[in-house]
């Protein structure tokens, strides 16, 4: 653990210009963390990563996005109700896609995107989580930790039949990986790696789980 799995990733890290400036402001980060806590309260009753049609859904998502950008935590409780939890996720996704840098730096993405034949998805995931923990500035690390906290909670509370569509990893895959040139086998590999990252994140990123969350992690068919 802690060693890169492919030579191209090691080369990328040597040439990568690590920006000491955090990816996100403290106000926005606190708003994201507040939204994650709010959404975690809804995952046991709603499948929040599968969008449902609502009147003015896009308008609510845009308002959530603006609240996160401005760090306005209070308004999130008016916007993201139990019936609008999916719009809260949508607004979070808009916020993440509009950040000035990728949520996962390219040198970490490269571990999963590289040609690692014979290396299982869980080994790749462990190495990626190690790089996240060791290399990212504090606020950037808190952001990724909050995201994996939400994803882990959502998958833990999702019935197996709902997981057949891979809804959690599929909807969040573009947030973590640049997918423009991926072929289908590589795309399926990304889903497997992301699911392993979600499964392993609590122990590697020091995410505190409630007792009710500590049951068997469901599998996902690929």
Distance of CA 154 to the CA centre of its chain: 11
Question: Rounded CA gap, 192 and 222, in Å?
Answer: 8
Cα(36)–Cα(41) distance, integer angstroms: 9
pLDDT score for 212:
43
Band the pLDDT of 2: cuts 50, 70, 90: very low
Q: What's the first-to-final CA gap in the chain, in angstroms?
A: 25
C-alpha span between 97 and 176 (Å, rounded)? 9
| pLDDT digit string, tens, across residues 22-75 | 789 999 999 999 999 999 999 876 678 876 666 677 899 999 999 999 999 999
Domains of the chain, residue spans: 22-100, 102-222
Mean pLDDT over the full length of the chain: 81
Mean pLDDT across the stretch 150-159?
Answer: 85
**155-196: pLDDT as tens digits:** 888 765 544 544 676 788 889 998 776 667 788 888 899 999
DSSP category for residue 86: H
List C-alpha distances in Å: 205 to 48, 81, 96, 99: 23, 28, 20, 22
The pLDDT, as a whole number, for residue 210 is: 52
Q: What band does 215 get if pLDDT is binned at 50, 70 and 90?
A: very low
Quick one: what percent of the chain has pLDDT higher than 70? 75
Residue 51: its pLDDT value, please? 66
Collapsed DSSP state (helix, strand, coil) of residue 117: coil
What confidence score (pLDDT) does residue 5 get? 54
């Amino acid at each position: 653990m802690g060693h890169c799995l492919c030579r191209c990733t090691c080369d990328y890290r040597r040439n990568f210009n690590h920006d000491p400036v955090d990816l996100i402001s403290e106000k926005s980060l606190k708003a994201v963390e507040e939204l994650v806590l709010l959404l975690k309260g809804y995952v046991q009753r709603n499948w929040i990563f599968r969008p449902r049609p609502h009147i003015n859904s896009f308008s609510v998502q845009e308002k959530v996005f603006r609240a996160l950008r401005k760090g306005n935590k209070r308004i999130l409780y008016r916007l993201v109700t139990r019936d609008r939890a999916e719009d809260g996720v949508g607004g979070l996704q808009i916020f993440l896609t509009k950040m000035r840098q990728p949520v996962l730096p390219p040198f970490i993405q490269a571990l999963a995107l590289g040609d690692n034949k014979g290396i299982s998805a869980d080994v790749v995931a462990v190495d990626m989580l190690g790089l996240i923990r060791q290399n990212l500035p504090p606020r950037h690390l808190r952001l990724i930790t909050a995201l994996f906290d939400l994803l882990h909670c959502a998958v833990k509370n999702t019935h197996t039949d709902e997981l057949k569509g891979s809804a959690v990893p599929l909807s969040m895959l573009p947030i973590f990986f640049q997918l423009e040139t991926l072929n289908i086998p590589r795309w399926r590999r990304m889903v497997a790696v992301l699911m392993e990252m979600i499964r392993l994140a609590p122990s590697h990123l020091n995410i505190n789980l409630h007792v009710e969350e500590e049951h068997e992690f469901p599998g996902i068919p690929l």
